[in-house]
């Protein structure tokens, strides 16, 4: 267990006094619990070995104490505030024509996100994977980014670490380019049941994969690690890239949710046998 006197894992300078740091950003990761006001519940699918355990009902996206200092937490809040303008309202912006949406094949579209602060979107994605990697919560134990890569992400995040938005934006303006680690984002244009989405962190590396409610993200260490050319076209490989794959409801269900659901069913069956 970490203590408030431990050092912040991001800045490695201040005391990690912050309690309840969300590992997955809250604005991305709580829709699956259902509407506010109604009883909110989701399922924890934290492990490939979940068959051994009873399904754990969770009321909130996992939080952790004493991993960050107040300033580093505020910095992540700045990134989230800007990123929420993309991930929180892409549908409206696509409808308004601000973001462009192009059909690739049946069931698959590509969203080009325009007029956003691209640096922030890249840093925001890295901040999620970094948090998942450093987290000691059992929910995230399957995703551990290789040490040197995790440290590269930390140092990159530290370049722009400011607790308020103005200072942060000034820091990016002063030094607007940085090394891009490729990433891919997926979501669906509609969902069979909003509350049937999940938080999931399967065992993964090369690329690292996470499922955050209505979004699925992959992180690659370098463009050479993206084996399929098909995927390269959908990935964000350069600073100017900001795109997302939009799957049909059916494809999202079959390609993204099926495996976690199968695990959930297996887990429920196994726990009944006990």
Instruction: Tell me the closest approach of the beta carbon of residue 169 to Zn ion, in angstroms.
Output: 20
Concatenating the DSSP letter of every residue in 26-70 gives: HHHHSGGG-STTS---EEE---TTGGGSPPEEESSS-EESSSS-H
Write down the least CB distance from residue 5 to Zn ion, Å: 14
Q: Does 9 bind Zn ion (CB under 5 A)?
A: no
Q: Which residues pair with 185 in a beta bridge?
A: 217
Q: Does 8 bind Zn ion (CB under 5 A)?
A: yes
User: C-beta of 74: minimal distance to Zn ion in Å?
Assistant: 10
Query: Among residues 8 and 121, whose Cβ is nearest to Zn ion?
Result: 8
Tokens read off for 30: 């709580």
Q: Does position 226 bind Zn ion by CB under 5 A?
A: no
Q: From 18, 19, 10, select the one nearest 70 (Cα to Cα).
A: 18
Indicate the residue among 10 and 50 with the shorter CB distance to Zn ion. 10
H/E element holding 170? helix 165-174
Residue 271 is a binding residue for Zn ion (CB under 5 A)? no
Contact mark string toward Zn ion, 30..69, x via CB under 5 A: ---------------------------------------x
List beta partners, residue 219. Answer: 183, 208
Q: What is the DSSP secondary structure assignment for residue 175, as one 8-state letter?
A: S
Assigned token pair, 172:
């990016």
Residue from 7, 14, 17, 204 touching Zn ion (CB under 5 A): that is 14
Near Zn ion by CB under 5 A: residue from 11, 158, 239, 255? 11
Identified binder of Zn ion from the candidate list 72, 113, 153, 246, rule CB under 5 A: 72
Task: Tell me if 51 sits within 8 A of 266, measured CB to CB.
Answer: yes
- Does 157 interact with Zn ion (rule: CB under 5 A)? no
Phi, psi of 96 (to 5 degrees): -75, -10
Residues lying near Zn ion in the complex (CB under 5 A) are found at 8, 10-11, 14, 69, 72
């Amino acid at each position: 267990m970490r203590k408030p006197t431990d050092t912040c894992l991001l800045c490695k300078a201040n005391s990690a006094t912050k309690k309840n740091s969300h590992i997955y950003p809250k604005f991305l990761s709580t829709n699956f619990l259902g509407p506010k006001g109604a009883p909110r519940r989701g399922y924890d699918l934290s492990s490939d070995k979940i068959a051994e355990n009873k399904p754990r009902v969770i009321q909130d996206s996992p939080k952790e104490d004493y991993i960050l200092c107040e300033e580093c937490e505020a910095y992540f809040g700045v990134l989230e505030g800007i990123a929420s303008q993309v991930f929180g309202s892409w549908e409206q912006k696509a409808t308004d024509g601000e973001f462009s949406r192009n059909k690739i094949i049946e069931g698959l579209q590509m969203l080009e996100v325009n007029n956003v602060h691209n640096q922030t979107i890249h840093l925001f994605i890295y901040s999620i994977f970094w948090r998942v990697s450093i987290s000691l919560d059992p929910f995230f134990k399957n995703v551990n980014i290789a040490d040197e890569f995790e440290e590269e992400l930390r140092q990159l995040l530290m370049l722009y670490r400011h607790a308020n938005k103005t200072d942060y934006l000034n820091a990016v303006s002063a030094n607007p380019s940085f090394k891009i680690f490729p990433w891919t984002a997926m979501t669906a244009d509609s969902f069979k049941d909003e509350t049937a989405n999940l938080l999931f962190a399967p065992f993964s590396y090369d690329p690292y994969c996470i499922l955050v409610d209505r979004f699925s993200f992959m992180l690659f260490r370098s463009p050479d690690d993206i084996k399929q050319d098909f995927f390269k076209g959908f990935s964000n490989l350069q600073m100017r890239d900001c795109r997302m794959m939009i799957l049909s409801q059916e494809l999202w269900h079959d390609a993204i949710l099926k495996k976690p659901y199968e695990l959930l069913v297996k887990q429920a069956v196994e726990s009944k046998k006990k």
